[in-house]
Amino acid sequence: MNQTKNVPLLDLSEQYEPIKNDIFKKFQEIFETKRFIHGPEVEGLEKETAEYCGTKFAVGVSSGSDALIIALMTEEIGHGDEVITTPFTFFATVGAISRVGAKPIFVDIDKDTFNMDVTQIEAKITPNTKAIMPVHLFGQMADMDAIMAIAKKHNLVVIEDSAQSIGGKYQSDDGTNYKSGAMGTYGCYSYFPSKNLGCMGDGGMVVTNDEAKYLKLKQMRNHGEVKRYHHQFIGGNFRIDALQAAVLRLKLPLLDAQHGGRQKNAAFYEATVKNDKVQLPVIDKKCTSIYNQYTLRTSDRASLQEHLNNKGIGNAIYYPIPLHLQECFTDLGHKKGDFPVSELACEEVLSIPIFGGLKENEVQRVVEALNSY
Ligand SMILES: *Cc1c(COP(=O)(O)O)cnc(C)c1O
């Protein structure tokens, strides 16, 4: 009956079609050289990413999850240590803290931005606290001025989970416009295909301005080797491969234009969606979001979701369960009600299509669907 094609939540064609032949050419080149690990593509990507993010150094790694883990390992954070973060995030943030043996300590989120409520951080600091891990959710950065001030006062490391926010910006009180990942001790990115800058598989990056930490990250990535077969630390295999690095180098120059497409769509929604039952994303005036997701709030989500499904509008829930209530974290001893703002967000959020390659009539259809709800 419904002949019109659905509006997809995300379609990667926009990102790959223009550079398809360049990618194949690059693959052939790498195939000829047989340099699949490390080498010029990885080094090139690291240099270009550091430049793009405004940091001195960058280390390519195997995934966004591993980027977080390797940053924690480089700080030698482990058993008995505590890391303060948010329960409203993708699993990997809290998974990384737990996997190095440290204890995740949660603060609730701000109801408008979905990012850490920075006013709750200081009360959670103990002598065991080693780091703060803010997540810049859906493309918008957390309140980094406040987080950096607290970290400085208490001598804590800041590991930015920038997996969803590469290229997102924050206008600091010091007058500088920082890119996501550049203010903290470490910035961690993911190249999972659905992130704003994704590769054709798994990949990630850690950036830092500290040379000693950069060198240690590089060792950690390669089993803690200082030189061949001499291991100073127990690291791991956290390498990104040359094929993925090559794809990312072709995609990085196009990233800002794609961000622009997302921002244009967001502005269009902002101007045309008029429905009291639907709350649009709130972007802090210090932030420029890159809209990895465009996330609505509504009190009766099931009915909105049904309405969008009937209209053929792609949608998804990020995230349905806060991490403090996940089965695997039962031993942290949390219960429902501990982080009420996060819990309510899990019941109310719904993400809709935002990617830059949406056609004008598709964006119109999303607006019509929201306004007729
Ligand atoms: C995607 C994501 C990660 C993990 O990245 P992978 O590359 O999938 O391992 C970590 N944190 C957040 C917030 C993410 O969205």
Query: What pLDDT, on the 0 to 100 scale, is given for residue 1?
Result: 44
- Centre of ligand 1 to C-alpha 139, Å, is 12
- 312 in the same domain as 225: no
Look up the CATH number of the domain holding residue 183.
Answer: 3.40.640.10
- Cα dihedral across residues 194, 255, 285, 94: positive or negative: positive
Task: Write out residues with Cβ below 6 Å of ligand 1.
Answer: 63-65, 89-90, 92-93, 135, 161, 163-164, 190, 192, 202, 204
- Shortest-distance atom of ligand 1 to CA 89: 13
Residue 228 structural domain: 13-107+114-253
Q: Which stretches in the chain have pLDDT values below 50?
A: 1
- Centre of ligand 1 to C-alpha 64, Å, is 5
- Centre of ligand 1 to C-alpha 373, Å, is 32
Q: pLDDT tens digits, residue range 84-133?
A: 999 999 999 999 999 999 999 999 999 999 999 999 999 999 999 999 99
CA angle 297/299/304 to nearest 5° reads 75
207/58 Cα distance (integer angstroms): 4
- 283 in the same domain as 326: yes
**224 three-state secondary structure:** coil
Give the pair of three-digit tokens for residue 254.
């196009």
Helix (H) / strand (E) element for 52: namely: helix 40-53
DSSP annotation string for 166-223: TT-EEE-TTS-EEETTSSSSEEEEE--TTSSS--SS--EEEEES-HHHHHHHHHHHBT
254/18 Cα distance (integer angstroms): 10
- Please report, for residues 47, 238, 293, the alpha-carbon distance to residue 10 in angstroms, rounded to integers and kept in the order given: 29, 28, 10
Look up the CATH number of the domain holding residue 333.
Answer: 3.90.1150.10
| Structural domain total, the chain | 2
Give the pair of three-digit tokens for residue 207.
């950036």
- Domain end, chosen from 253, 274, 299, is at 253
- 221 in the same domain as 82: yes
| CA nearest ligand 1 atom 5, residue | 64
Query: What pLDDT, on the 0 to 100 scale, is given for residue 3?
Result: 54
- 32 in the same domain as 54: yes
- Shortest-distance atom of ligand 1 to CA 136: 13
**98 three-state secondary structure:** helix
75/132 Cα distance (integer angstroms): 12
Quick one: which of 73, 27, 39 has its CA closest to 216? 73
Helix (H) / strand (E) element for 371: namely: helix 360-371
Quick one: which of 14, 290, 312 has its CA closest to 281? 290
Ligand 1 pocket test, candidate residues 164, 166, 188, 200, most atoms within 8 A of CB: 164
Query: What pLDDT, on the 0 to 100 scale, is given for residue 5?
Result: 85
112/102 Cα distance (integer angstroms): 29
Per the CB < 8 A criterion, the answer to whether 289 and 266 are in contact is yes
- 282 in the same domain as 348: yes
Residues 6+ apart with CB under 8 A from 122: 150, 154
Q: Is residue 4 part of a domain?
A: no
- 211 in the same domain as 135: yes
Q: pLDDT tens digits, residue range 155-200?
A: 999 999 999 999 999 999 999 999 999 999 999 999 999 999 999 9
- Shortest-distance atom of ligand 1 to CA 65: 9
